[in-house]
Amino acid sequence: MLTRKLDEARNAWKDRNMDASRAAHEAGQRADAVETHRNAQGKYLKSIVYGGMDGIVTTFAAVAGVSGANLGPGIVLIMGFANLIADGLSMSIGDFLSSKSEAEYEAAERERESWEVDNYPEGEKRELRELYVAKGMAGADAEGVVELVARNRKAWVDIMMVEELGIVPEDSSPLGSALATFFSFGAFGFLPLLAYVTALFVPALAGSQFPAAVTLTACTLFALGAFKTRLTGKNWIVSGLETLVVGGLAASAAYLVGALLGGLA
C-alpha cells in the first residue's frame, strides 16, 4: 500500500509542479490517502487499449478492402463479422497463452530464487551487492543495504527478481487479460460495422455507410490514442493524432488493395 495519491503524483510530474508533488507525497496525513500501487482499474488497461486499437483497425481494414472492391453491404458485413470473431478469438487466445507463459516463468524463477536464498544466502547477498555496486553505489553502502534487505525474506526475493532478472510481478490473471482483450476487441471492432448494421433498419442511410464508418472509425482511433496516454504519459493530442494516422494508413492500404483487385470478385 502507498501512503500517497499516485494519480496526483503523476499529474504533478507532468506539470513539473513541486508543490503538487509534495502534497501528493505527504498525503499520508489524510485518511483517504492509502491506495494500492496498481488498482483494479489499471490491471487490464493495457489489454483494453491495445485490444480495442487492434479491433477497430483490423475490422475497418476489412470493411475498407471490401468497399474498395465495390462489393455490396452484405459482403461487408460478412467479412467484417468474420474478421471480428476470428481475429478477436485469435488475439485473446494469444494474450492468454503469452500471459500464462510469463506467469509460469515468473513462478519458476521465484521458486528458484527462494530456494537459493534459503540454501545459499551468502551467494545471493554477493550477487545483490555486485548489482548495487554496478549501479554506482559504494561498496560499504551496498553491503549495508544488502544486510537490511536480507532481514526480510519476501522483500529479498522480490528485489532479486527485479534487480537480477528484470522480472516485475504482474497482478493481472492470464484469463482476465484474455477476456479484457476479447471484449475490447469486439466492442471497438464492431464500430466500423455499426453504420452498415444501422442501414439494415434505416433504409435512408443506404449508400452512406462507408463515409459514416470512416468518420466513426477516425473519431474512435483518435479517442483511443488519447486514452492510451494513461499508459504512455505522452501528450494526448499528439498520441491521438499518431494513432489516427497509423490506423488511417492501414485502412487506406486495405482500401487500395480492394480497389486494385476488385475486378477479380
pLDDT tens readout for residues 152-178: 999 889 988 888 888 877 777 888 889
Which one is predicted more confidently, 187 or 25?
187
Contact 21, 13 (CB under 8 A): yes
Q: Which residues, at least 6 apart from 250, have a Cβ–Cβ distance to it below 8 Å?
A: 57, 61
Q: What is the pLDDT of residue 4?
A: 52
Q: What is the pLDDT of residue 89?
A: 92
Beta bridge partners of 158: none
Other C-beta atoms within 10 Å of 241: how many?
15
Q: What is the pLDDT of residue 9?
A: 66
Contact 193, 63 (CB under 8 A): yes
DSSP 8-state class, residue 38 = S
Q: What is the pLDDT of residue 43?
A: 66
Query: Residue 2 phi/psi, 5° resolution?
Result: -110, 130
Which one is predicted more confidently, 241 or 1?
241
Q: Mean of the pLDDT values across residues 241-254?
A: 84
Count, residues in the chain: 265
pLDDT digits (tens, 9 = 90+) for 7-65: 676 676 677 778 777 777 676 555 454 444 444 445 677 788 888 888 888 888 888 88
Q: What is the pLDDT of residue 265?
A: 55
Q: What is the pLDDT of residue 263?
A: 63
Q: What is the pLDDT of residue 27?
A: 62
pLDDT digits (tens, 9 = 90+) for 194-242: 989 998 888 888 878 888 888 988 998 898 888 877 766 778 898 889 8
206, three cell numbers: 443506404
pLDDT surpassing 60 at residue 72: yes
Q: How far is it, in rounded angstroms, from Cα 128 to Cα 126?
A: 5
pLDDT digits (tens, 9 = 90+) for 98-134: 889 988 988 898 898 899 888 888 888 998 899 999 9
pLDDT digits (tens, 9 = 90+) for 73-99: 888 899 889 988 998 999 899 989 988
Q: How far is it, in rounded angstroms, from Cα 226 to Cα 203?
A: 34
Q: What is the pLDDT of residue 185?
A: 92
Contact 79, 212 (CB under 8 A): no
Q: Mean of the pLDDT values across residues 234-259?
A: 84
